[in-house]
Chains A and B, each alone.
Chain A
């Protein structure tokens, strides 16, 4: 199969056709993550890195999380599966199939119900053959058969299962990590940047497989900065900026001039793509700990008024999506 990233053809949003019931598999309400750190001497400082996130993912759905580098996308994933470092404080609620998850419950279902594809290929165990690592994740089925099947799906040669991580290229290591998540039989897959370094031909396969998993009833949270790939498979897109979700929108709203998008940052992101206007906006994203009192995007926003600088905009439902902007209509 020879195709480049842009020609990626995957079954488009076939969820409706398959008629999966819209049961919210995962619901996140007002999730806030802050880090306690030493600011010189014994002075301690709390820095909020994620603030007030509301999200939900249904069964059979792919939710893409895109946004500025350093906006806290990976931290969201780490919070969802409970692997934040000890100096992190998490507040808010995470519900899985309607049941509130605390640390103990999360630890019990992690790896069984929720699988994680980490961003770093260094997460593979350097001292174990990769085939063995993938087999460990299999539950209730024949591990060897499942692992080989997954490797065939991702076009990893048969001898790869006997290799150690250092012998793999970046793209191969990515596909091994994906195999681990997909053989686990989990109902929620949290994938953190699973595609960089994957060759365009294999990228297509990876994206197709994710769509298939969703069509089989999984929910996929796909964290990426590759907007184009994400749009080709995702049902909805959540746009992150400075530690918060500024908009959630159906994928189809990312089209044309972006006039259907609700938040000025989403429009800026869409119009900055090289295939669109390649138009930059001035300034940089505020750092955690230096967030303005009002809307975090106000200092760079063409629509900003004095009202934006005073108060943080509430999350509102607008045209089938949600947005944190007082100007959206």
Chain B
């Protein structure tokens, strides 16, 4: 029961983040950036499919990757708040991407040692792709931070605004604690120090100021989401809800 919930949390992170990234398709500042963000979004959809398929086998009862992605309600989604935030401008998207990609690199690296073979396999595969994502986001933060006065100001604002959503990545939910105890989930609290170290290095190279840490948003892992999650799900799930069972 808890394993299903943990796998769904991983799947939901990937799906919701991908949904946000897909909103850039056709609207990015440059063609190559548009293609890159779309590719990154696709990688995350792929990971979410692997996680949802696994969760479906654990849940049984006719559950499929599609029913889990398109028919669950807001309070059932266990993604962190960071990934459901609106994209904002390109700087804000890159600020979030840097924070999330850095975390995912550490998480998947640790998850390769999970006692759960499927999670270890998915982590090993996804880590290869996250390495490319990390290069993309960190290089853009550096380019924009160490760029023109305007790009620097926008990039600093972006980092400052996303900062108090980053804490949730390291906060333990009950499911996390239980999964850690049986060797399935990595200890996310142990990832915080290396995460902060990497972020500091990138921000230093980007000539940006590290925000002060204070109060952090949370609740996503327990299904308590920001207002925009409702709009996001309306977009994501509209077709299945309007035309149940519709297929290509």
Q: Are A and B genuine complex partners?
A: no
Which B residues are closer than 8 A to A by beta carbons?
none
Which A residues are closer than 8 A to B by beta carbons?
none
